Structure 1
Amino acid sequence: MGVKDEQRDRAVTLLAAHLLQTGLAQTSLRQLAAAAGISDRMLLYYFADKAEALAAAMARVAEELAGVLSTALPEGRRWPPAELVQLAGASTTQPEMRRFMRLWVEVVAAAARGERPFGEIAEQIMAGFRQWVDARLQLPAGADRAAVASAVIAVIDGLALVDICIGKEATARAAKALSFFQAQKG
């Protein structure tokens, strides 16, 4: 890895930490450069524009989140969808995960408002997590794996929203209530 690549990687790490700490509130070019410990001009030397810097930082955040989740849900093991939802939901609503989930909610909200580059960022992160979930799903042959993975993500993200909006107790009750839907199926 060359010096430029090493410096860019260092900037991405610092930008990811900045986003996890501050959310999207402080993402002007000047604020991002300060968070990376470099000048505006140097930030634009490492990245084509602010959008590329944000995309690289969010990709690093997603990698970090996937790493944390992989501790609870290791690669190589598969779970039925309901069990995967319960395990992943329990993991993503832990206090140390709130910063990831809050940032994700901000990115999704910015994408919904049509703010550039958040639509593309959300799409890339969602595709990565759909693959991550798919690799851990135990499904019968012929099942629509992409659709089930998307549904699992929707429930997990929903639990995170409940956690953010009304707290841990309501989230635990909501997660427990998911078994009601499973019972109604049979």
Structure 2
Amino acid sequence: MSIDRRAALLEALADHVLAHGLASASLRPLAKAAGTSDRMLLYYFTDKSDLIAAILETIAVRLTAMLAGATGAPQPFAALRATLLESLSSEAVWPYMRIWLEVAAGAARGDPLLTEVGARIGRGFLAWGKAQLLSASPAIRSREAAQLLVFIEGALFLKSLGLEDITASALTGAAKPAQ
């Protein structure tokens, strides 16, 4: 099995899922998006679950690289929270956030694959956030990383509902008028 071909397929498949969502992630549409057959996809991936997990991991790696470019050196909690909130709310990153919301919704419905992959990706983002924090001690860094993840996830959920004013109120203490 060619690792380069598998990686190229994953990049094309990640692009497709980012553009069309997880609902479009059945074998035939994925194969068409990658310019191959569904049988060839199963040559490179054990089964559909393996394929979806690999696509989601590819998307998470891309997102982490984008965020790393936005954050730079480790920062104090409030500064990192503001930087991440701005980055994650941008139009360029929103397709990644929509996929993350789809993963969370599927996990909430009890989908074991999305629960497993979502937990793995979530813990990966927690570890990434911990490495980005400038904190007084490892214990404080761990707590702040957890707080950061909880805050960002809540802000993401509120944005998806059109309630960014609530996030703004939490940050500034004064609510922006709802639009």
| The two structures share one fold, judged by TM-score above 0.5 | yes
Per-residue CA distance 1:131-150 (angstroms, 9 max, x = gap) = 11000112222525334212
Superposition deviation, residue 12 in structure 1: 0.5
SS at the partner of 1:96? coil
Q: 2-side partners of 1:55 and 1:82: how far apart? A: 33
Q: 2-side partners of 1:155 and 1:147: how far apart? A: 12
31-40 or 127-136: bigger deviation: 31-40
Superposition deviation, residue 124 in structure 1: 1.4
Report which structure shows greater RCO (CA 8 Å, sep ≥6): 1
Superposition deviation, residue 123 in structure 1: 1.2
SS at the partner of 1:87? helix
Quick one: which of 110, 113, 119 aligns to 1:123?
119
Is the 1:98–1:164 Cα contact (8 Å) retained in structure 2? no
SS at the partner of 2:33? helix
**Structure 1 alignment gaps of length 5 or more:** 181-186
Count of aligned pairs = 173
CA RMSD of aligned residues (A): 1.8
Per-residue CA distance 1:66-100 (angstroms, 9 max, x = gap) = 111112102xx222222211110011001111101
Q: 1-side partners of 2:32 and 2:143: how far apart? A: 41
Is the 2:13–2:30 Cα contact (8 Å) retained in structure 1? yes
Aligned to 1:88: 84
Quick one: which of 164, 171, 177 aligns to 1:178?
171
Superposition deviation, residue 151 in structure 1: 1.8
140-149 or 98-107: bigger deviation: 140-149
Aligned to 1:184: none
Quick one: which of 149, 152, 156 aligns to 2:148?
152
Aligned to 1:143: 139
Is the 2:11–2:58 Cα contact (8 Å) retained in structure 1? yes
Alignment partner of 1:108 is 2:92: no
43-52 or 3-12: bigger deviation: 3-12
Alignment partner of 1:33 is 2:26: no
Alignment partner of 1:71 is 2:64: no
Alignment partner of 1:46 is 2:39: no
SS at the partner of 2:13? helix
Per-residue CA distance 1:12-31 (angstroms, 9 max, x = gap) = 11111111011111111222
Task: Give the partner amino acid of 2:147.
Answer: A
Superposition deviation, residue 164 in structure 1: 2.1
Per-residue CA distance 1:36-71 (angstroms, 9 max, x = gap) = 221111111000011111111111111111111112
Is the 1:89–1:175 Cα contact (8 Å) retained in structure 2? no
Task: Give the partner amino acid of 2:71.
Answer: L
What is the TM-score with the length of structure 2 in the denominator?
0.88
